[in-house]
Structure 1
Amino acid sequence: MLKAIEISKELNEDSIRKLIAKNIDAIHVPGFYPKELSARFADCIAGHSELEAYKVQNALKRLGMGYVDVGKDADNANRYHSEAMRSIWGIRDMIYPNLTPLDHFRLLLEEVWPAGATIQTIDGRKSFVGTCRVIDQGAKMLPHNDRLARMLSNGASDLTGQLAVNVYLDMPPEGGELELWLSEPTPEQDKEQETRDGLDREVLGEPRLLIRPENGDLVLFNSQLIHGVTPGVGGRRVTMSCFVGHRGDDQPLTYWS
């Protein structure tokens, strides 16, 4: 028998612990970031000269290189780390003197988690945090999961949990929902994601949970479980996102994109 779906509307120590332990399925905080600022920030992102299409799906665009783009390539890794701070500051400047939604999130995370929170380092170098994504209307994203170890050259990390964080700055009139299957990929599916951009929807079946955020909402979910996004209708979908890593309840959380 499947357990009942449970979503917390608060970001605090208890909800983070429960999400990592899979005792709840998501954290959804409505109105986390002001709607007026969300609209202004979304326009800045969508019109930015450095907005770059993903290589595999060019209907998906991003500002700020994510570690997923490194692809275990040493040159890409060097570019990622060397651009990290400049990218954080550049995105921050777009909405200054206001805080970006992820700067606001980072401050709260440090305060609510007993051991605090800090930027993830990889091979002794700081990571970028705060990828901004624009998804064109009608674009389809394949279901997938995100796991830092799969992206590292040695295939291993010390994380005991990994969460995805999204602040929704602009949602289309229809579609753009977050799809959660609430299950981990099989070893075969995990390996499949190393060679293609996601998993076959027909094999997965329908997701167990759909979340329809509003502009300014914050959503956290377990990134190691399979998730996707429904195609948007009538407009773009703009988000700012990162991951949060857990290494034990007495250890600081880390965040990166």
Structure 2
Amino acid sequence: MKYADELNATTLGQLAEGDLDAIWVPGFHSPPQCQEVLPRVVAACERSQYTLTGDFQSIGTSMGEAAESAAGQRRYLDTAAETLDLIRYEIFAGRLSPLDELRLLLDELWPAGATVARYGNRMMLPGIIRRWPAGGHANPHIDQRDIPLLAGQHLRRRIGTNIYLEVPPSGSGGQVDFWALWTDEGAYDSRRRADYGLDRDELGEPHWSCEPGQGDLLMFDAARVHGVRRVDHGSRVTAACFLGVRDPSEPLVLFA
């Protein structure tokens, strides 16, 4: 995989066009600030109920849950503002969160700016926090564009974005693995597990593995099959969102 270690107008454009596979920026957010919020993250995660899998915890209703049913979509839209307030004012205590920091930077770097995605006149959730405690993992998967909530966005590309608030000790799991890109979502659907994602054992060795550090930013094409290795010790916490890429003359849209 071809990746850049700096987020700027050039590398963002290359990632949006598929000329780069990833952007991996070490220390995008201050590690001491990441460390300071972790007790509040753990408390909020322990209160949350993620419905798709027990492999990790998620604060707020995710896009994946919204895609499962009409009730999930309503819950996603109804709770978006509440989840944003929880992340912004309870977890980050009014300090600029890394998700807000990223959105401001993207607004400056992309020719048409960046904004929160909307469904009709309703705000979609612009960011989410996830935690993988010891034993947690994520099956290999892609993040699909062809879901009802995104139909009106007319996306050309969906960029997965993670800022690492906590990482396991080196060699203790939590790495992000990447396999080949499938442009046809139907090919993915035909091989999906009953719960979610794909069987890792059937995919063979990943083409690339990334072991981010605390505070790092990782951005990648979410149509590429990717998964998280099982956390053996410690925990893995990310502040995450997606960037929806449309025409360069249109703003990037953020959602989670």
d(CA) in 2 for partners of 1:220 and 1:14? 14
1:237 aligns with 2:236: yes
Amino acid at match of 1:177: Q
Larger mean CA deviation between 14-23 and 98-107 belongs to: 14-23
Residue 167 of structure 1 deviates from its aligned partner by 0.4
Change (3 A) 1:114 1:185: closer
Change (3 A) 1:203 1:250: same
Per the alignment, residue 209 of structure 2 pairs with 210
Q: TM-score, normalised by structure 2?
A: 0.91
Change (3 A) 1:196 1:185: farther
Change (3 A) 1:97 1:121: closer
- Determine what percentage of the aligned residue pairs are the same residue: 31
d(CA) in 1 for partners of 2:139 and 2:149? 24
Change (3 A) 1:241 1:9: same
d(CA) in 2 for partners of 1:6 and 1:88? 33
d(CA) in 1 for partners of 2:153 and 2:252? 14
Change (3 A) 1:154 1:61: closer
1:37 aligns with 2:36: no
**Match among 123, 131, 138 for residue 141 of structure 1:** 138
Amino acid at match of 2:207: R
Per the alignment, residue 169 of structure 1 pairs with 165
Give the root-mean-square deviation of aligned CA atoms.
Answer: 2.0
Larger mean CA deviation between 179-188 and 208-217 belongs to: 179-188
Residue 117 of structure 1 deviates from its aligned partner by 0.6
d(CA) in 2 for partners of 1:154 and 1:169? 28
Larger mean CA deviation between 108-117 and 202-211 belongs to: 202-211
d(CA) in 1 for partners of 2:238 and 2:19? 26
Per the alignment, residue 66 of structure 2 pairs with 70
Residue 122 of structure 1 deviates from its aligned partner by 2.0
1:121 aligns with 2:136: no
d(CA) in 1 for partners of 2:88 and 2:153? 29
Per the alignment, residue 132 of structure 1 pairs with 129
d(CA) in 2 for partners of 1:216 and 1:33? 5
Can you give the 5+ residue segments of structure 2 that lack an aligned partner in the other structure? none
Change (3 A) 1:252 1:194: farther
d(CA) in 2 for partners of 1:243 and 1:53? 21
Q: Is the 8 A contact 1:19 1:221 kept in 2?
A: yes
1:158 aligns with 2:154: yes
Aligned residues: 252
